[in-house]
């Protein structure tokens, strides 16, 4: 064989080897992709959650975020991550079983690492969408499915987490776990627990240099509802827990933290009132108004237990040695199997935290300790005998309730006191609805018509004639109510809020279905105040009054337009407010620092300088209107310099240069002041 032929032969051999190598790599990669740790977002109901096929929830370790940790009410994350209303710090489960006389325990929650020798992915997390329940064979409007294995016991854990948009059923998430035994060994004395760690803070720190409002966690309390057989949790007054966290000692008593402003002197920070922390708060909203419960819907024929432990994320066992054993979470890498069973089968005394604390004693009555003020609720079903090929399904739910958002935003002592009445009542009503839905095998009797659009930011909102026009498709004429078999759509409602993406909502329009011409429903909201943030959401309703869920709100605010300055620069440009004193005075969340240049040309360049002539920001205005804000709530960059820092108080000079055709080069110079 010649050198040329040999070289060609080698190249062919190398190519063939490369193909084989690539094929093997692709097969291996495909296998890895098919069995990986991953997650999906559930966003159809009022509760938003990120669910992982590992059994975890939310922002787990080393996984890119931010995700949703039972956000209630849910909405997508904005530039200010502290605005995310996460209610749970973690979620997961415990499992215990015995094989041939050897005990095994496993647990996982949001802040724990997945250990390769303890668990492995089996089925990728997948999101099943069934909006408006069009497919009756799918039990929910959004459903997460996925699975993994518990290595030591050889068990498979198959997951289904489900949510709905129907207002009767949109305040909870149902968690189904089907545990299968594919091995040749029997797993006896098997117990399974669902865990969730509360963090009842609707929102955290407001953005901007004036931010001082903080929603606290770790100050929850709980009570027992005998009728429904459940513990429920709420945000109570914070206390001095320094000894608890630094020394690992549970104090017999701890002083309530004193707040000097707003309702603080009378109610402390129950419900986290935004105005309890500072004298000049821009809102009195209650930042933590929700009540929450973790419930067992189906124990699979096993017994049930409920334990309230110290949240696993509170501190590791070696940090907090004084905790009672049953209130110390079982850590999968540190606990023996007996510890798992001890935590899972301890039954919390059926009383409130206050009642338990009144008789608390570290030796004889360990419940009612301050460890339980950072609660993890452990609901357990068992025991079961899992023979080879056997399986058991256990079902849990996380349920929320909250009083009317108008009262939440109004805040004050009277509304703080109403939390214990109205938020509690809303929670228990939602628990009843959740149990009824599961009891009917997820059959919804009174169907609302389809939502006009299905997700956030799907309404068309356009500035027009000093107002805002809201448009969306009408429900198809072919729609039929699943129960009645007829098209029973009676009309459409458009709601407006000038506060935040979660409301409170005011009815802006009620449009009869018979008045809609063409394919779209269109509503002009006229004569709106300029510079004020507006949010909209649209629903449908039927002849029986059943109304669809509020799912299509615009995440970032819309503003009515100002007419452009056609006589620039003879008609001057203004800055409002000027001077800017501490805050803008605008009502909407995140609008504290909004400043606006008004009466500008349709296209222009705005430059902002210090009195010494140093350029600190340049803004291009090209939307054809006569107003331009310095930044936006969407980007959280109101009063931010080109160096991405909030500007200091002082006097500033602005220069507006027209870019309108035929007026290029015309300019105006003015000044404004910022006072803090």
Largest CA distance in the chain: 98
CA–CA separation, 216 vs 276, rounded Å? Answer: 12
* Confidence category of residue 212, pLDDT binned at 50, 70, 90: very low
Average pLDDT over residues 448-472: 95
3-state secondary structure of 505: coil
Res 30 pLDDT > 60: no
Residue 164's closest CA among 328, 349, 399? 399
Average pLDDT over residues 254-262: 81
In this prediction, residue 29 carries a pLDDT of 37
In this prediction, residue 3 carries a pLDDT of 39
- Highest mean pLDDT of the ranges 150-164, 206-220, 263-277: 150-164
| Secondary structure element (H or E) that encloses residue 544, with its range | none
Res 218 pLDDT > 80: no
In this prediction, residue 320 carries a pLDDT of 57
In this prediction, residue 116 carries a pLDDT of 87
In this prediction, residue 206 carries a pLDDT of 34
CA–CA separation, 541 vs 485, rounded Å? Answer: 16
Average pLDDT value for the chain: 87
Cβ(275)–Cβ(349) under 8 Å? no
CA–CA separation, 368 vs 594, rounded Å? Answer: 46
Least confident of 51-55, 174-178, 246-250, 348-352: 246-250
Least confident of 95-109, 166-180, 315-329, 411-425: 315-329
Q: Give the number of other CB atoms < 10 A from CB of residue 31.
A: 10
Q: Distances in Å between the alpha carbon of 611 and those of 9, 271, 318, 647? A: 77, 45, 58, 13
Q: Distances in Å between the alpha carbon of 324 and those of 239, 246, 321, 501, 528? A: 20, 17, 8, 43, 59
Cβ(526)–Cβ(426) under 8 Å? no
Res 208 pLDDT > 90: no
In this prediction, residue 329 carries a pLDDT of 78
Give the percent of the chain with pLDDT over 90. Answer: 68
Sheet holding 460-464, edge to edge: 460-464, 467-473, 520-525
Tokens standing for residue 309: 């432990």
Q: What is the pLDDT of residues 140-164, one digit of tens each?
A: 999 999 999 999 999 999 999 999 9
Q: Which residues, including other chains, have CB under 8 Å from residue 608's CB and lie 6 or more apart?
A: 615, 616, 617, 618, 619, 630, 652, 653, 654
Cβ(674)–Cβ(647) under 8 Å? yes
CA–CA separation, 45 vs 398, rounded Å? Answer: 13
CA–CA separation, 395 vs 194, rounded Å? Answer: 9
Q: What is the pLDDT of residues 498-511, one digit of tens each?
A: 999 999 999 999 99
Average pLDDT over residues 186-200: 93
């Amino acid at each position: 064989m010649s050198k040329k032929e040999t070289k060609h032969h080698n190249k062919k051999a190398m190519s063939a080897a490369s193909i084989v190598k690539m094929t093997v790599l692709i097969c291996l990669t495909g296998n890895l992709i098919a069995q990986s740790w991953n997650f999906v977002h559930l966003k159809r109901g009022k509760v938003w959650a990120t669910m992982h096929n590992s059994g975890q929830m939310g922002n787990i370790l080393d996984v890119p975020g931010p995700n949703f940790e039972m956000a209630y009410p849910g909405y997508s994350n904005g530039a200010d991550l502290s605005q995310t209303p996460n209610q749970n710090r973690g979620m997961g489960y415990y499992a215990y079983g015995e094989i041939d006389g050897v005990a095994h325990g496993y647990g996982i929650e949001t802040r724990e690492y997945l250990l390769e020798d303890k668990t492995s992915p089996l089925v990728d997390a997948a999101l099943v969408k069934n909006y408006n329940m069009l497919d009756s064979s799918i039990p929910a409007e959004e459903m997460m499915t996925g699975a993994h294995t518990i290595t030591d016991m050889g068990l498979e854990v198959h997951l289904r987490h489900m949510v709905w948009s129907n207002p009767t059923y949109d305040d909870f998430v149902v968690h189904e776990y089907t545990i299968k035994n594919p091995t040749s060994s029997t797993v006896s004395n098997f117990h399974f627990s669902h865990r969730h760690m509360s963090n009842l803070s609707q929102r955290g720190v407001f953005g901007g240099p004036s931010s001082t409002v903080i929603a606290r966690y770790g100050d929850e309390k709980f009570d027992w509802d005998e009728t429904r057989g459940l513990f429920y949790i709420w945000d109570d007054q914070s206390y001095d827990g320094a000894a608890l966290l630094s020394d690992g000692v549970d104090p017999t008593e701890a002083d309530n933290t004193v707040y000097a402003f707003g309702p603080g002197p009378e109610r402390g920070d129950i419900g986290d009132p935004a105005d309890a922390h500072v004298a000049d708060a821009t809102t009195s909203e209650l930042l933590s108004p929700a009540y929450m419960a973790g419930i067992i819907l189906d124990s699979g024929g096993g017994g049930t237990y409920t334990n309230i432990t110290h949240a696993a994320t509170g501190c590791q066992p070696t940090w907090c040695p004084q905790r009672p054993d049953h209130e110390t979470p079982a850590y999968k890498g540190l606990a023996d199997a007996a510890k798992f069973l001890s935590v899972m089968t301890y039954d919390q005394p059926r009383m409130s935290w206050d009642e338990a604390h009144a008789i608390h004693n570290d030796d004889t009555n360990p419940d009612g300790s301050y460890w339980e003020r950072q609660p993890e609720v452990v609901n357990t079903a068992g025991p079961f005998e899992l023979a080879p090929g056997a399986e058991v399904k256990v079902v849990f739910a996380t349920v929320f309730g909250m009083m009317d958002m108008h009262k939440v935003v109004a805040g004050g002592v009277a509304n703080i006191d109403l939390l214990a009445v109205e938020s509690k009542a809303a929670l228990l009503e939602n628990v009843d609805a959740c149990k009824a839905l599961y009891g009917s095998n997820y059959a919804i009797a009174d169907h609302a018509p389809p939502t006009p659009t299905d997700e956030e930011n799907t309404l068309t909102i356009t500035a027009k004639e000093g107002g805002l026009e809201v448009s969306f498709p009408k429900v198809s004429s072919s729609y039929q109510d699943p129960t009645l078999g007829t098209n029973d759509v009676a009309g459409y409602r458009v709601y407006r809020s000038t506060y935040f993406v979660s409301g409170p909502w005011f009815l802006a329009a009620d449009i009869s279905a018979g008045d809609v011409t063409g394919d779209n429903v269109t509503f002009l909201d006229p004569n709106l105040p300029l510079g004020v943030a507006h949010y909209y959401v649209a629903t449908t309703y039927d002849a029986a009054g059943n109304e669809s869920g509020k799912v299509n709100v615009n995440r970032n605010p819309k503003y009515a337009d100002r007419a452009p300055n056609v006589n620039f620069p003879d008609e001057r440009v203004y800055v409002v407010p000027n001077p800017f004193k501490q805050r803008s005075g605008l009502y909407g969340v995140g609008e504290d620092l909004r400043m606006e240049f008004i009466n500008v040309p349709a296209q222009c360049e705005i430059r902002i300088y210090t009195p010494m002539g140093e350029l600190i920001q340049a803004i291009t205005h090209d939307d054809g209107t006569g107003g331009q804000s310095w930044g936006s709530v969407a980007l959280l960059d109101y009063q931010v310099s080109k160096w991405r820092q909030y500007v200091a108080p002082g006097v500033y000079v602005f220069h507006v240069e027209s870019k309108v055709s035929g007026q290029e080069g015309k300019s105006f110079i003015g000044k404004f002041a910022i006072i803090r």
